[in-house]
Structure 1
Amino acid sequence: PNGEECFYGHRSTQAGARFSKDFTQGYGPEQYLIRNAIKGKYQIKTNYFGERELTESGPATVMVEIYTTRAGKTSKTLKTIQLGKIKENEILAEIIW
């Protein structure tokens, strides 16, 4: 919400968010965690550093699991997204807190 990004090169934020290890040789998982989130819009993005050419298996696909807890109740959202162009900074999901 304040414009600060949390990613493999900036793994902790002033708001208290943390980003897990960057898994560049496999399928993750990579995790983002923030307790006591401030109000605003949060975006989950990917920066796709994949193959330059389409492979036999097709475009890369990511699965995003989003857990939010409000008033003691946890909800889970699952999204499966096919990635587009290489090095594209694609928004996978937005959360309004």
Structure 2
Amino acid sequence: MGTPHRRTASGGEITQDVTQGYGPEMYVLPRAPEGRYLIRAHYYASDRNRASARTKVHAAIIEDYGTPQQRMFDRVVTLQQGKDMHDLLQVTRADRKAAVAR
């Protein structure tokens, strides 16, 4: 039950892995290293009894939470049956130390 590897090498963590029901799930990465990130939703399974209902994911992505630079992106994506991964947003993190030093 749940995700066996809840933490990433860069310090990120999934706070709750909801495998039964509708969530919510939250992934946090308090000190994201510089780089480009592709935020995706993984569609694990479908319920044949819900064939007529579409499954959607609502993602709220927050950068620089609690700072004056805080930015929020909302994405709603309809998950397609037979497609495992769904791209939500791409975020590029700059080197914050270099930005402050300038």
Q: Structure 2 unaligned runs (5+)?
A: 94-102
Work out which of the residue numbers 84, 88, 92 in structure 2 matches 1:88. Answer: 84
Work out which of the residue numbers 25, 43, 53 in structure 1 matches 2:20. Answer: 25
Q: Structure 1 unaligned runs (5+)?
A: 1-6
- Structure 1 residue 16 corresponds to structure 2 residue 29: no
Q: Over the residues paired in the alignment, what is the CA RMSD in angstroms?
A: 2.4
Rounded to whole Å, the distance in 2 between the matches of 1:70 and 1:64 is: 15
Equivalent residues in 2 for 1:46-61 (5 A)? 46-48=41-43, 49-52=45-48, 55-57=51-53, 59-61=54-56
Structure 1 residue ranges, 4+ long, deviating more than 4 angstroms after superposition: none
Aligned-residue sequence identity (percent) comes to: 27
Work out which of the residue numbers 62, 70, 78 in structure 1 matches 2:74. Answer: 78
Local SS of the residue matching 1:20: strand
Pairwise CA distance, 1:70: 7.4
Count of matched residue positions in the alignment of Structure 1 and Structure 2: 90
**Equivalent residue, structure 2, for 1:3:** none
Structure with the greater alpha carbon radius of gyration: 2
- Structure 1 residue 38 corresponds to structure 2 residue 37: no
Partner deviation per Cα, 1:51-96 (whole Å, 9 max, x = no partner): 3576233x21110001111792212111111011335122222211
Rounded to whole Å, the distance in 2 between the matches of 1:70 and 1:22 is: 22
Distance change >3 Å, CA 70–CA 51, structure 1 → 2? closer
Q: TM-score, normalised by structure 1?
A: 0.76
**Contact 1:52–1:86 (CA<8 Å) still a contact in 2?**
no
One-letter amino acid of the structure 2 residue matched with residue 88 of structure 1: D
Distance change >3 Å, CA 52–CA 96, structure 1 → 2? farther
Rounded to whole Å, the distance in 1 between the matches of 2:12 and 2:18 is: 18
Rounded to whole Å, the distance in 1 between the matches of 2:88 and 2:48 is: 21
